[in-house]
A and B are shown apart, each in its own frame.
Chain A
Amino acid sequence: MLLIHCPYCDETLPELEFAYAGEAHIARPVDPSALSDEEWRDFLFIRTNARGTHFERWRHIHGCARFFNAARDTVTDRFLVTYKAGESRPDLTVKESAE
């Protein structure tokens, strides 16, 4: 079972307490009515589908119930980092060189 660190509870807990919630950092268009059909389709449905590091949302549904973001490697399933909702995408290269 995967263990996931909840940035709000500050505890590393089993995957079964969490729910996956799609790709992170998808900003809602400021003026939706100005978008073309293709742009609206891209906003709603087109996702990165990364092979490797993927920034995604998770929710600690059976716990603090908060949404947060995670960077996960989609090949190894390894969680690289988790961080609170609203925080910007962490620079993973800085983290790696520091290690």
Chain B
Amino acid sequence: MTTQKHDFAAPVQIEELAPAARLSLRVRPDHRAVLADALGLDLPARIGDRAASDGREALCLGPDEWLILAPEAADLIAAAAAVYPTAPHSLTEISDREITLHLSGPSVLDLLATCCPRDVGALAVGRGCRTVFDSATVTLWRDGPAVFRMDVWRSFLPHVRNLMALAEAELATGL
């Protein structure tokens, strides 16, 4: 599987991104604002909405669940621990759980449509969702009309990459 980074004629480009810190936050809605303050990051209440500041990103995955990305996890963990007595929550580092793929190119929606049952085109730019790719749970971040990030649980990655390679070959032949 080659990364066609500079081949702008390619229908899709798939790259693995460098590892970054990833955290799973579970907190009840009453204490959401306290955690948002402590983390210095807005925690949007609507599922699929995202927030970003200082290189940190949050994606609302469920009514009491957020996925947080950051360059480093230690500061966030310490900041959250400091407010634990007033705002009970669970903040778990899951950096190693997933590998993030950067997907782009004019046929990226076709590539995703081969294995995602939901209408990925309906996901607005700047939003995200947890969904399924073939049988693997993935998190999709739509960064541009034809730019996505996809977090894939690492043990599913070979399966996902194989399916993508097949789809990529079909797209390249103009199918």
Question: A residues near B, CB below 8 A?
Answer: 1, 8-10, 13-17, 61-66
Interface stretch (choices B34-42, B124-132, B154-162): B124-132
Bound-state CA distance A43–B31 (Å) is 36
Q: Is the CB of A14 within 8 A of B117?
A: yes
- Known contacts: A17-B117, A17-B132. The answer to whether A65 contacts B65 by CB under 8 A is yes
Q: Which of A17, A64, A66 contacts B118 (CB 8 A)?
A: A17
CB atoms of A62 and B130 under 8 A apart: yes
| B117 touching A64, Cβ below 8 Å | no
| B42 CB to nearest chain A CB (Å) | 19
**Are B130 and A8 in contact, with the CB atoms below 8 A?**
no
Q: Is B33 an interface residue when CB atoms closer than 8 A count as contact?
A: no
B47 located at the interface, meaning its Cβ lies under 8 Å from any Cβ of chain A in the complex: yes
Q: Do A16 and B117 contact each other (CB < 8 Å), given the known contacts A64-B47, A64-B62, A64-B63?
A: yes
New A-B pairs, 15, CB < 8 Å, besides A17-B117, A64-B62, A66-B62:
A9-B48, A10-B47, A14-B117, A14-B118, A16-B132, A17-B132, A61-B137, A62-B130, A62-B131, A62-B137, A64-B47, A64-B63, A64-B130, A65-B130, A66-B63
Given the contacts A13-B118, A14-B117, A14-B118, A65 and B132 also touching, CB distance less than 8 Å: no
Q: What chain B residues lie within 8 Å of A8 (beta carbons)?
A: 47, 62-63
How far is the CB of A75 from the nearest CB of chain B, in Å?
Answer: 25
Inter-chain CA distance A34–B130, complex, in Å, is: 43
- Min Cβ gap B132→A in Å is 4
Asked whether any CB of chain A lies closer than 8 Å to the CB of B61, the reply is: yes
Q: Tell whether, in the assembled complex, residue B117 and residue A63 are in contact, meaning their CB atoms are under 8 Å apart.
A: no
Cβ–Cβ contact B132 & A64, under 8 A: no
5 contacts between A and B (CB under 8 A): A13-B118, A17-B131, A17-B132, A62-B131, A64-B65
Assess whether B63 is in contact with A63, with CB atoms less than 8 Å apart: no
Q: List, in ascending order, chain B residues with CB within 8 A of A65's CB.
A: 61-62, 65, 130
